[in-house]
Chain A
């Protein structure tokens, strides 16, 4: 791997990230779907928590969950299905034809998606903080940043893996996304501490959002630790392991996808 090849791939990552970021700035329809809808769920949970007399931090848990759910939706809908759309538009064959690794294309998509989604997540967080007058207490900034970025890394690693898998499996994989969306909200404790789910929490830790969210709550709210699922350091370890596993699987399936495309001649045909 020479220097020229590496630079070319870095440029490719930026190139492919660009349309994602641009799309976030040029089209405003997302504001409704991506800020208002999570906020509605947050308000529903908030009302419930007030009614139950739960502490204010629970509102914070819900707002944080609402904000982070934007990343989950981005991964589930925009990342996982993206290669399929790229195939339909004919972009995929131009990507395979280019002297770069397909991993760079997916990395570009991820980084662009993360940036665009961060905007939405931040908006949800800010609006939620105002509405519910949340109190944050920063426990440990290093751990906080580590948990946040590892969560995104693992989450988008999962997205990259799903992208190739969806392409190999074809259209049926769509139903998988639909099937997963709501239950994942539940099992990953999007709006309440995952600790309440008991042993299910271990199973749902395969979804990086679960441990990530739990860690963030512990690091941002006074009562977070009380309701924490595992210790933050263990959660960081889990996130590192998940990131590595998903990244390796993503690379493996991308290679496999390209091989299948070239062998069977199926994956680069638009009208299929």
Chain B
């Protein structure tokens, strides 16, 4: 296998048994992730992201097709793969509450055979980078979610993996900590050549900011795979608007003539934001008239650049709902 490819799947499929039949969590997945790449899997709840990560991290067997990590078969060459990878999931509660942060990290480092002296040095280095040095001797049962997730990330990188799997690493973190985690991920990638990250996320901005390439996954299928810029080009010829409206609270906007990909988001003060695409610029006046006649007052409007969210709606055909 080509040495520059770190993850490869061939018609990979996975089914789960469920009452009255089977659920196809992954269907014919074909991806190639290059060394040195941050590769994003972007998709809504139940899309199959975690299933794919579990197969690639040898925690789950494929039902059909093949998958290789660093050239090794995920079914049969598990030890070779496990030596060179690690995984961190959002909302992870691993470790033992009775141990301190430093002790927990040390324990996990032992499963990778890291000499204790080296492990302690690395642990202290990363604790400092994450601003956790004060909490090194805090029992982990006392940590906040944010501190805990920082510790989890340190656990994941202590073994110096060639491929790091991050399953929604910023899930449930506040903005500040999520930002720290993202910037650390970028620094870590630059620190050593040839590292690879496969990351899943619900957050479109996160995928946009971090990933070299993104696969949009829904219902177990990959619907598009490209760079963030490439994905946005899909919408090159679309005219997009974002409109802010005032309305009586009982009024609901269910349809809007002449538009496609129309979505409504509630704003503060009972206002709403409506996003849509139109084919014909001239129709915008008719649209504004329609809104006015139905009790919606225009506060502001703008033509806007496509975001990944628009790409998602375009490709998957439905709005992207985050898990809250």
Contact = CB atoms under 8 A, between A and B. Distances in A.
- Taking residues whose C-beta sits less than 8 angstroms from the other chain, chain A's interface range is 20 to 34
Contacts of B60: 262, 265, 268
Contact of B111 (A4, A19, A95): A95
Contact of A98 (B54, B61, B89, B111): B111
A115 to B, nearest CB: 15
A38 B89 CA distance: 43
Interface string A3-25: 01101100110111011001100
B111 A100 contact: yes
B61 A27 contact: no
Contacts of B99: 18-19, 22
A11 B113 contact: yes
Contacts of A96: 58-59
B56 to A, nearest CB: 11
B82 A263 contact: no
B112 A97 contact: no
Contacts, number: 88
Interface in B173-217: none
Interface stretch (A85-93, A131-139, A176-184, A247-255): A85-93
A interface secondary structure, majority:
helix
Contact of B61 (A91, A97, A263): A263
B110 interface: yes
Contacts of B111: 8, 11-12, 15, 95, 98-100
Contact of A262 (B58, B103, B113): B58
Nearest to B155: A94
Given A14-B110, A23-B98, A265 B92 contact: no
A99 B159 CA distance: 11
A98 B59 contact: no
A201 to B, nearest CB: 39
B321 interface: no
A14 B109 CA distance: 11
Contacts of A99: 79, 82-83, 111-113
B278 to A, nearest CB: 44
A11 B94 contact: no
B5 interface: no
Contact of A19 (B14, B17, B58, B98): B98
A218 B303 CA distance: 92
Nearest to B82: A99
A268 B59 contact: yes
Interface string B73-87: 000000100110111
Contacts of A172: none
A264 interface: yes
A175 interface: no
A193 B93 CA distance: 46
Given A15-B106, A99-B82, A4 B113 contact: yes
A184 B99 CA distance: 33
A90 B92 contact: yes
A99 B109 CA distance: 11
B6 interface: no
A26 interface: yes
A264 B146 CA distance: 32
B57 interface: yes
Contact of A91 (B14, B16, B95, B106): B95
Given A15-B108, A93-B59, A262-B61, 18 more contacts: A8-B112, A12-B110, A15-B110, A18-B107, A19-B99, A19-B107, A22-B103, A90-B89, A90-B93, A94-B108, A97-B58, A97-B59, A100-B111, A262-B60, A264-B17, A265-B14, A268-B54, A268-B59
Interface of B: 14, 16-17, 51, 54, 57-61, 79, 82-83, 85-87, 89, 92-96, 98-99, 103, 106-114
19 contacts: A11-B111, A15-B106, A15-B110, A18-B103, A22-B99, A23-B96, A26-B98, A91-B94, A93-B59, A96-B59, A97-B82, A98-B112, A99-B111, A99-B112, A99-B113, A262-B61, A265-B60, A268-B54, A268-B60
